[in-house]
Amino acid sequence: MKRASAPPLPPPNQTEGEGVVAKKNRRLRYGIVIAVGVAVVVFLFFTNPLESQLAPKCFWKLATGTDCPGCGFQRALHAFLHGNFADAARYNFFLILALPYLFAVILSDLVFRGERRERWQRFTHSRYTLWAYIIIYCVWWVVRNILGI
């Protein structure tokens, strides 16, 4: 006599509900990132880091006396948000590269869909792009301390 058995379960990664949960988790992560980003932008629009004690200080600079790659970011973003682009670049030249790349990542991850998303993510998420970014970041870290910029 043959025993009746339940049909085999699909592998966990193919269950119907998991895609929905993963999508909700991704949206939650993006929502948190966007909320923090908007909070930082609003804070730095209304707070001049040169005049305010509320602006956080750089731990690397406090500990070593040298600039980290991000030093000047708050002043640069404050200047940028007020349309002073030359001052923004002067406070941190790396933003000239970092802001367009950040914008491209936001577009490719949050705005674009389908083929356009895949095409942009081939660039923004590429191993070569990420390594180039990291190398330029490290070179900037050294060069800015040698030249005092």
Q: How far apart are CA 116 and CA 123, in angstroms?
A: 11
Number of CB atoms found within 10 A of residue 109's CB? 16
Region binding Zn ion by CB under 5 A among candidate stretches 10-18, 57-65, 76-84, 140-148 = 57-65
- CB nearer to Zn ion: give 49 or 70: 70
- CB nearer to Zn ion: give 1 or 147: 147
Q: How far apart are CA 87 and CA 93, in angstroms?
A: 10
Binder of Zn ion out of 41, 58, 107, 136 (CB under 5 A): 58
64-93: contacts with Zn ion (CB under 5 A): 68, 70-71
The DSSP output letter for 65 is S
- CB nearer to Zn ion: give 111 or 139: 139
Q: How far apart are CA 57 and CA 130, in angstroms?
A: 27
Answer yes or no whether residue 55 interacts with Zn ion by CB under 5 A: no
Minimum Å distance from CB 46 to Zn ion? 22
- CB nearer to Zn ion: give 60 or 93: 60
Encoded amino acid at 11, one letter: P
Closest C-alpha among 104, 110, 137 to residue 122: 104
Question: Where on the chain is the footprint of Zn ion (CB under 5 A)?
Answer: 58, 60-61, 68, 70-71
